[in-house]
Amino acid sequence: MNEYWKKESWKINTQEALPYLPTPITVIESIFKFLYAKGLIKKGQRLVDLGAGDGRVIIYASEFYSLISLGLEINENLIKTAESEIKRKNLSDLCKIKEDDLFNYDISEMDIIYCFFLPSNYTYCSHVIKMVKSGGIVINIRWDLKKFKKYWRKSFKIKTDEHFPVYLYIKK
Ligand SMILES: C[S@@+](CC[C@H](N)C(=O)[O-])C[C@H]1O[C@@H](n2cnc3c(N)ncnc32)[C@H](O)[C@@H]1O
């Protein structure tokens, strides 16, 4: 297999295109409260965070909602941070972080897809959006995904704080 994502030059480029910006914990709490209130979340569902950073979203989802969570990340230091927190919280059965390319990973079995994409990434993430299964939930932080509106059955804007509006979509 061509493991291009292990090349240093590639890692630098992809992290320049999508740098590390963590979602504040209060925003994560609001998202999960919203999902729960709308009946959109159930124990045992599968969540993927595309560019998982320090693993805060996958850890939260497994710790408080018993979701089976996977994080894809390219930054080795962030992966190590997430791994040690997963271990410290005894969540290894439910929660994993993996070194892989978010733009080329098969997410077709996932129930909830958590993204923090920038508008400049939209060209590269269009095939990611296409891959989401029918009924799958896509969450994007800060920027809407209305460019992909033909794919959505329903959409919501979750009010958090003014710097972090959250957009939630259900795939047709
Ligand atoms: C905006 S941050 C979001 C972090 C986390 N999801 C959160 O909300 O706290 C995006 C993350 O994507 C990672 N990243 C960038 N390109 C990537 C790629 N091609 N594959 C996997 N991760 C990538 C960055 O290293 C960064 O940690």
Distance 117 CA to ligand 1 centre (A): 8
Rg (CA), the chain: 15
Instruction: Give the strands of the sheet with 46-50, arranged side by side.
Output: 95-99, 68-73, 46-50, 112-115, 137-141, 166-171, 152-158
Instruction: Record the tokens describing residue 66, joined without a space.
Output: 């018993």
pLDDT truncated to tens, each residue of the chain (172 aa)?
A: 467 877 888 888 888 889 999 999 999 999 999 999 999 999 999 999 999 999 999 999 999 999 999 999 999 999 999 999 999 999 999 999 999 999 989 999 999 999 999 999 888 888 899 999 999 999 999 999 989 999 999 999 998 876 789 999 999 9
In a domain, 15, yes or no: no
Pairwise CA distance, residues 155 & 153, whole Å? 7
Tell me which of 11, 13, 20 to substitute to probe ligand 1's pocket, judged by most ligand atoms within 8 Å of the beta carbon: 20
Q: Is 69 in the pocket of ligand 1 (CB under 6 A)?
A: no
CATH number at residue 90: 3.40.50.150
In a domain, 19, yes or no: no
pLDDT of residue 1: 47
Residue 163: give the domain boundaries. 30-171
In a domain, 17, yes or no: no
Task: State the total domains in the chain.
Answer: 1
pLDDT of residue 93: 98
Query: Distances from the Cα of 41 to the Cαs of 3, 65, 81, 83, in angstroms?
Result: 34, 8, 27, 24
In a domain, 38, yes or no: yes
In a domain, 13, yes or no: no
In a domain, 18, yes or no: no
In a domain, 25, yes or no: no
- Residue 124, classified by CB atoms within 10 Å of its CB into exposed (0-12), middle (13-18) or buried (19+), is middle
In a domain, 165, yes or no: yes
pLDDT of residue 138: 97
